[in-house]
Structure 1
Amino acid sequence: MLRSALCFFSLAVTLPLVAKDQAAPEGFTAIFNGKDLSGWSGSDKYWSVEDGCLTGVADGKLDYNRFITWKDGKVKNFELRVKVKVTPGGNSGLQYRGQERPDLGEWVVTGYQCDVVPAKDDYNGMLYEERGRRILAHTGEKVIIDPQGQPWVVGKLPIQNFPADQWHDYRILVEGNHHQHWIDGVQTVDVIDLDEKGRALEGVIAVQVHVGPAMKIQYKDFFVKHLPADLSLLSATQAPIPADAVKVVPQGGGKPKKVAK
């Protein structure tokens, strides 16, 4: 009797420690099954499933960024939610409305990206365009990208620190040409893209291992909700650039410049 009671007590203590897959929120679809890379395309040199997580590793010798792409659909208007953890010094990104570009190298994807860079608070959660217009909005910026492709800061958001080696909730909401990112419920960017030639309105989802120090990135509870395809695009009339707007500082650039009126 005592042995049975002890076994039951041990089981009761152990059960809460067993990890469970999070159920998809209402209206969302899981795009990673937590077991294998079904539905994804990338090199097993960089990507695997570890502890139920989509896991990317790089040894610090990458000559260019490599991606793994979700192959079971594309996104147009959507909301994405995923938990992310990266090692200190690591750099990754959530690619969306992207384009696969094998002509540029193996496992290359271009397009919009929500950056995962815990070491730089003003980059973590920013909007970047891989192999394109590059920095479109630093973290903490409300931005309008004008029809010529120049991003202008039109407002500010609070910037917070989200430490490496911890799980954080990333959220991306894209409606027409309006892009918004959050980390742990804190909005990091708000961007309206008026650049008809430069913007993309549909494409793939992918995630990245980045050049630089050796790193490990993990993703879990990866969910997408598809929104109506016919959402309206905001126009320059609906999103005017105010006179006190300043240019977004380009990658490696200096001080921001005010709009010329």
Structure 2
Amino acid sequence: MKKILLGFAACLVLSTAVKAQDNTLTKKEIKQGWKLLFDGTDLKGWHSFNRDTVAANWIVKDGQIQYNRERDRAGDDLVTDGVYENYELQLQWRITPGGNSGIIFDVQEGPKYHATYQTGAEMQVLDNVGADDNKKQNHLAGCLYDMMGDATVSHPVEPGGWNQVRLIQNKGHLQFYLNGTKTVDVQIGSPEWDKALASSKFKDPFFAEFMKVQKGHIAVQKHPGASGWKNIKIREIKD
């Protein structure tokens, strides 16, 4: 019994130690140039799209950024204060059953823009089974929304579990990874990109400035279904 109790205590300590590592950087990561975009305690460094402040529908709870549409239905997507061009972004997300959200990048702000996705591309966040927006292959989790990706590479964990994202943009070259699987690899402006763009909703005049600038804010999307975000970090690519 004593050995069992000691083992249980050791597991508890280990579990606590692992949990304490959320929203922090190791010495190695700091040396490599990683920076946290979220420290687990507040929303410093973020604002709601086209606002100076954060709308009430975005909160920090249990070391996560959480979205709750009941708090402020008028509040829009959550956007970084910083603007980024060439970088690797890593984060973890989870979603409730039926949930839908996204990571949108190269977002431009200003009076003439009405949504983050008007200018920025999206890495889809989705419950592939329970969400309404699961009918098209390139609408599944990890895909370049409405452009590239399919069920062969989209392998999110079940709702409530944490998914790991790597999103790399370097001189217009995009690479997406979801839970270690590469879901997208494309050069902006290539024939492959142009073909996908021409068959997407982004050919509409509303999206005339879609991905025209490969530099901008990074956003997490408000959408029906609660979402959670943590361990958000970025490493700018200098060379």
CA positional deviation for 1:20: 0.9
Q: Deviations over 1:148-186 (max 9, x none)?
A: xxxxxxxxx932431322101011011112111110110
- In structure 2, stretches of 5+ residues that fail to align are 1-5, 49-53, 129-133, 195-207
Q: CA RMSD of the aligned region, Å? A: 3.1
- CA distance in 1 between counterparts of 2:89 and 2:105 reads 9
Matched, 1:52 2:69: no
Identity %: 26
Matched, 1:209 2:200: no
In structure 2, relative to structure 1, the CA distance for the partners of 1:217 and 1:112 (3 Å cut) is: same
In structure 2, relative to structure 1, the CA distance for the partners of 1:227 and 1:11 (3 Å cut) is: same
* Residue from 136, 143, 152 that aligns with 1:126: 143
CA positional deviation for 1:206: 1.1
* Residue from 223, 226, 233 that aligns with 1:223: 233
Q: Give the match for residue 131 of structure 1.
A: none
Q: Which amino acid aligns with 2:149?
A: T
Conserved? CA contact 2:64–2:230, under 8 Å: yes
Conserved? CA contact 1:114–1:127, under 8 Å: yes
Q: Give the match for residue 51 of structure 2.
A: none
CA positional deviation for 1:222: 0.4
TM-score by length of 1: 0.64
Matched, 1:179 2:174: yes
- CA distance in 1 between counterparts of 2:11 and 2:126 reads 37
Conserved? CA contact 1:122–1:159, under 8 Å: no
Q: Which amino acid aligns with 2:232?
A: F
Q: In proportion to residue count, which structure has more helix?
A: 2
Conserved? CA contact 1:68–1:206, under 8 Å: yes
Q: Which amino acid aligns with 1:118?
A: D
- In structure 1, stretches of 5+ residues that fail to align are 1-7, 129-134, 141-156, 232-261
**Secondary structure of 2:68 counterpart:** strand
Q: In proportion to residue count, which structure has more strand?
A: 1
TM-score by length of 2: 0.70
In structure 2, relative to structure 1, the CA distance for the partners of 1:84 and 1:102 (3 Å cut) is: farther
CA positional deviation for 1:89: 1.1
* Residue from 143, 152, 157 that aligns with 1:158: 152
Q: Give the match for residue 21 of structure 1.
A: 21
CA positional deviation for 1:15: 2.9
- CA distance in 2 between counterparts of 1:197 and 1:180 reads 21
- CA distance in 2 between counterparts of 1:122 and 1:62 reads 27
